[in-house]
Structures are given as structure tokens and as C-alpha cells.
Chains A and B, each alone.
Chain A
Amino acid sequence: MTAVTIYVPGDAAAVAVGADATAAAIAAEAERRGTAVKIVRNGSRGLLWLEPLVEVDTPAGRIAYGPVGAADVPGLFAGGFIAGAPHPLGHGPTAEIPYFKRQQRLTFARVGLIEPGDIEAYKRHDGYRGLTAAIGMTPAAIVECVTASGLRGSGGAAFPAGIKWKTALGAAADRKYIVCNADEGDSGTFSDRMVMEGDPFVLIEGMTIAGLATGATQGYIYLRFEYPLAKRMLQDAIRSAYEAGYLGADVMGSGRRFDLEVRMGAGAYICGEETSLLESLEGKRGQVRFKPPLPAIQGLFGKPTVINNVITLASVPIILDRGAEHYRDFGMGRSRGTLPVQLTGNIKRGGLVETAFGLRLRELLYDFGGGSLSGRPIKAVQVGGPLGAYLPESRFDTKLDYEAFAGVGGMLGHGGIVVFDDSVDMAAQARYAMEFCAIESCGKCTPCRLGSTRGVEVIDRLIAGDEPVKQEALLRDLCETMTHGSLCALGGLTAYPVRSALDHFPADFRKTAAARARG
């Protein structure tokens, strides 16, 4: 009798709600019943409210059950889940779950599908086809392909990747670098983590292609310490890639070298800013650099450096494999391809939604997300991390597109959406934005270093009702100074959440102390 394959995610989010215990319970129960099973620890499918999401491989495809706690396991076996039988926890074929079916997965094509550490499984699922194509191309042709795809940096600034690569290709130097920014510090985001834990080879392949395209021979993945599992998965995958000849002195027999190493950050949000990250990689305090020179011309150790986000680099293999047009045909306007949205916070069905640009916020919040987790009305959503604007209901028809978001005074950033119900106090959120900036400021420029601390104080006085009209004017003036006077996006964008809270939720700043105490 052949063993039935059962998938139990090993992704950190799944494990955080008990996937390890579930896997152990399945193994124990199968043993007790004498049923042959093979448990595969896959990445997460991104339907996070169903985690631990267990899938059984049947002739009719993979059948989903979730959330499966360890205590549910004996009942599932008794109910015949091993054959894919219906069950109160069952959701039918995973691919048919509407949340999943409505997505267009390009970058996340393999995440959750395969065993992440298995290079053979990666190759069976179209892995290393992009690199194979790239090896047969000139560097300029690879860069042209990435440019033509319309791929933009997904770290926040949305800069066209091909232009960065072209600059680095054109810079003459004895050594160039590819740096992956895996310092995913924005609250409400985890798409980088899901790729690194669920499909690490796609990132390695993307970085290798970037190396071939620009003439860089050394890559670094700068990873935050908060992601210990991603660290292990990446290190194991890099080792396998070296053993299989996909990294090292002779990448796939091409005679080209590309080496890759993981470096750990140390809990500084600012190191997600590209020049701070480079300082940190050089072993220094993560302080922002002046630009120019651009990193693509003088980056790590003064050498030309391509620095891109995880999702950006992980999107490269499929572009090289299927061609620039395939990717570009998704999306709208100047936002081409897909955007992995992370639906988080106070939301009933939180998870990862990768679709073409152009979906409306409202569709995401209600059709995908099912409204708030608490069941109360959604009051505000913050899009784009701690430096993103708070948007009220009147803005929920905004389309997910870089330019459309800029049009409503927001930004898409890294695609994180944090949902708040009507119990949130927006004055407290504005205060937190300033407090966060004060904690994480690198200290290099004055508007950010001092402005953030003064900002907390002004908001405190405003909330206390101490000359509120004057304080609000002062706060807006401070926001202006920080926006235009800061060196980087941390100080420059902290005004977004603060100002949007003031504009859209003025009543929260005028509550009396008594009302505040009542909540």
C-alpha cells in the first residue's frame, strides 16, 4: 500500500498556531491505525485564518482541512479524511477555495505547493528554467527583458527594477554585488517571509539571474533576526544550490561565478532603507547615506550594487522563463504584473492575496477578508506599513495601483493592509507613528531625530486639550518639515499616518479625557 501524502505547513505563521503539534498528532494517529502516511512540511498556502491548513493528496487533487488542531486529528482519521472525505473542518479541493481560486499566483506559484527545501521538487515545478534561459542571453538582453516586464521594486519605493540593473551593468568595476533586502520590517507584511520559508530557491535563482545580468559575483541576503525559520530555510537551500552546481564558481556549467550568503540584521527598522542596509552589511551603524552616489554606482564597499526586495528578485525567474510580455500583461497603468497583498490585523480571513494590480480595497476587505475579525465595522485601514496612510471607509474604492494610491495621499508600499475596527483611537495611532519614528530613527538628520520626539509631545498636548487649535497647527507644520527635510523615507513618510489620522478622524483628537477613559 502506498503512503498517502499529507501536507502540514512548516511556515512560521502555521507553526505559531500549532502546526508542529498537528503534524506530530497525524504521525502518531497514523501509526496507531497502521495507516501509511508521508507528511510533507510545505510552505503556507496563504489562507492564514485556516492555519494549520492540512491537505491530503487524493486522486481528486489536494483536499483542504483547517484549522486543524492536534485534538481534531483522531476525529479526522475516523471521518475518513485520508481519502478526502467531507468533514466539518473540510473545505474541498484547495485550488477551488474561492479565496485561492480568485488569485493570480506568479511569484507565489510554488509557495505552499512543494516541500521548500527540496531542490528536485523545485526543478519539477519549473524551477531554474529562468536561470537556464538567462544563461543563453547577453547581460544586456536580460536587463532588457526585466525592463520590458515593467517589474518595479516591491520594497516600497516602486522603482523600476530594470533601470537599477541597467545602471549597475553600465558601471565598470572589479567587483559588483547583488543585495537582497529581506529586512521586512513593515507591520502588516509577511510576503517576503512566506517566499523565503516556502520557496527559498526562487529567491536564490532570482539573485543569480541578477548576478548574470549585471556582472555581479557576490550576493548577500540581509535578513532580519525576527525571522529565525527563514534563516534556516535559506541557509539549507543555499547549501543545496551549491551542491547541485547552481551557485559557486561555475553556475550551471556557464563558467560564471555567483556566491551567496545570508547576513543577519539586528532589530533596526531603519536597515530596511537601502543605504542603511549597506552600512549595516559593511559592519557599521545602520545610518542612512546621502544620495547620490546611487548604490547602483557606488554601493556596498563602494562598488556597484543592485539592491532589491525579496519579492522583486523572486519575480525575476518567471519573467525570464515565460517572457516579459507574460508578466506585463497583468496589471493596470504603470503598475504591471501582480501584487502580493497581505491582509492583516482585525480581519476575519487574513492571508496572502496575489493578484494583478487594480483590485479595489473594498473587494479585498470584504470579498476576500470577510470584514473584521471582531465583527464590528471597519473604521480604518493602514496600507503600506507604519509609514502608510490611514484610510477611512470613503477611500475603500481606491484601486490597488501605485499611482492611484499616491492620488489619495497614500502609498502601497510593500502591500501590507492592516485593518482596524471602530474601537481604534486614531489619535493614539497617530501618536504611535511618531513614537515609532523616534524609536527607530537612525539619528542622522534632525527633522526625523528630533521631529519625531517633538511630535509625540505635541500630540500629547493636543489630546490633552491644551490649546488644541495651536497644537494642531504646530503638528501640521512639523509634519511638513519632516516630509521635506528628512533624508530618507522614515522621517519623510511618518507624516502620512499622522496627517491622514488628523484629516479623516478629527473627532478622535477632540475626545474629552472622560470620553477617552470610557473608550
Chain B
Amino acid sequence: MTSQTPRRVIPNQPEARSRLNDAELAAVQNACAALKHLPGALLPILHAVQDELRHVPKNAVPLIADALNLTRAEVHGVVSFYHYFRTEKPGRCVLRICRAEACQSVGAAALEEHAKRSLQVDFHGTTADGAITLEPVYCLGNCALGPSVLVEDRLVGRVDARRFDDLVADARKAK
């Protein structure tokens, strides 16, 4: 085999395509077409898909693998390695509570308890009304003004139980 020969990969199952809805299919195909020329394109593609769909559907894996000439196992391995990528659609608002030491020193553990109790979910869970997904995060870089929470991509500092409840109420109101 010469070095020019493309790597042989196991053919993808064609029916995977049909399990994505039109919007999902378009998002995955657009991301692949726009970014697959980049060196090390997999993470940029996964980010683009998740930015668009808020998750990376399991059935997107064969399509992405095909576009990059990777195996499905390789793509799945990457999706599952990184805490940020999710394969299930989250609630309308993803709320990340910092669990790291600087926030712990000013009461993050109590805030975490309050959040789980008041939302009646554990980490990675979504509230029954589909409004909020609760995630842990390890440092938001706001360590002098903790406890910190990331509401979608908005950083909020000095969050106590009351402030947390306000954030949740705002998130529930927003559509």
C-alpha cells in the first residue's frame, strides 16, 4: 500500500441519515461541508453542530465519520470524551454551577444542594417542564467573585440561593 492510498474504513450504514430530521441533517451536512477542510476538523464540526442543534445527535456520528474519513468509533470516542458535548437535547436553558475550590470556599456546595433540591434534578438532568438542564462545571474563571454560574453563555457571580432562584425564574420566563 502506498502512502497515497486513503485509509480504508468500514462503510457507514446508509439508514443513519434517515433517522435525523431535516433540520438536523442540514445542520450536520452544513457543518461538515464548511469545516472538513480544516486540519483537525472534528472538534470544530462538533462545536458547529452543537451550536446549531444544542446537542450532537447520535445519528450524526456516521455522517461526520464519513465526511472526515474516520471510523464511527473514533467520532463516538471523541464525542463521549469531552464533558461539553451532549448527545441528548438539553432543556431550553443550560445552567452550569461551578464546583471548583474557589467557589467552594464561598459556599458553592450549599448552592449546589439548593439547586438540585429546588429543581428536583441531579447534575446532567433536565427539569420536568423542559426549561432547565443542570450541569456541573469546573471553574469559570470568576474565582474572586464566586459562587459562579454560567447561564447559557452569560456568567453570573456572587450567586446565593435567592439569586439562583431569580436566574431560574428568568430562564423559565424566556422562551
**Interchain Cβ contacts within 8 Å, total number:** 151
Among A187, A266, A350, A386, which residue has its beta carbon within 8 angstroms of that of B46?
A266
Rounded to whole angstroms, the CA-CA distance of A403 and B70 in the bound complex is 46
Given contact pairs A48-B144, A264-B43, A188 touches B101 in the complex (Cβ within 8 A): yes
* A contact set with B: CB distance below 8 Å: 12-13, 15-17, 48-49, 51, 184-190, 192-193, 225-229, 263-269, 280-286, 301, 342-347, 350-351, 373, 382, 386, 416, 418-421, 424, 429, 432, 436, 439-440, 442
* B25 at the A interface (CB under 8 A): no
Whether the pair B44, A263 counts as a contact (CB closer than 8 A) is yes
Nearest neighbor of A185 in chain B, beta-carbon distance: B139
Nearest neighbor of B43 in chain A, beta-carbon distance: A283
Rounded to whole angstroms, the CA-CA distance of A343 and B40 in the bound complex is 37
Nearest neighbor of A440 in chain B, beta-carbon distance: B138
Whether the pair A386, B101 counts as a contact (CB closer than 8 A) is yes
Among B42, B44, B153, which residue has its beta carbon within 8 angstroms of that of A228?
B153
Whether the pair B144, A429 counts as a contact (CB closer than 8 A) is no
Rounded to whole angstroms, the CA-CA distance of A496 and B84 in the bound complex is 28
> Which residues of chain B are within 8 angstroms of A12 by Cβ–Cβ distance?
141-142, 155
Interface of A, secondary structure class, is mixed
Whether the pair A13, B100 counts as a contact (CB closer than 8 A) is no
Whether the pair A343, B144 counts as a contact (CB closer than 8 A) is yes
> Which residues of chain A are within 8 angstroms of B158 by Cβ–Cβ distance?
16-17
Given contact pairs A267-B83, A268-B83, A283-B40, A190 touches B105 in the complex (Cβ within 8 A): no
Whether the pair A419, B105 counts as a contact (CB closer than 8 A) is yes
* B53 at the A interface (CB under 8 A): no
> Which residues of chain A are within 8 angstroms of B17 by Cβ–Cβ distance?
none
Whether the pair A284, B42 counts as a contact (CB closer than 8 A) is yes
> Which residues of chain B are within 8 angstroms of A440 by Cβ–Cβ distance?
138
Nearest neighbor of A264 in chain B, beta-carbon distance: B47
* B156 at the A interface (CB under 8 A): yes
25 contacting pairs across A/B (C-beta < 8 A):
A17-B145, A184-B141, A185-B139, A188-B143, A189-B139, A193-B141, A225-B47, A263-B40, A266-B46, A266-B84, A267-B83, A268-B82, A269-B138, A282-B40, A285-B77, A344-B143, A344-B146, A345-B106, A350-B143, A382-B101, A419-B105, A420-B105, A432-B104, A439-B138, A442-B81
Whether the pair A386, B100 counts as a contact (CB closer than 8 A) is yes
B40 to chain A, nearest CB (A): 4
A380 to chain B, nearest CB (A): 9
Given contact pairs A226-B137, A284-B78, A266 touches B85 in the complex (Cβ within 8 A): yes
Nearest neighbor of A231 in chain B, beta-carbon distance: B153
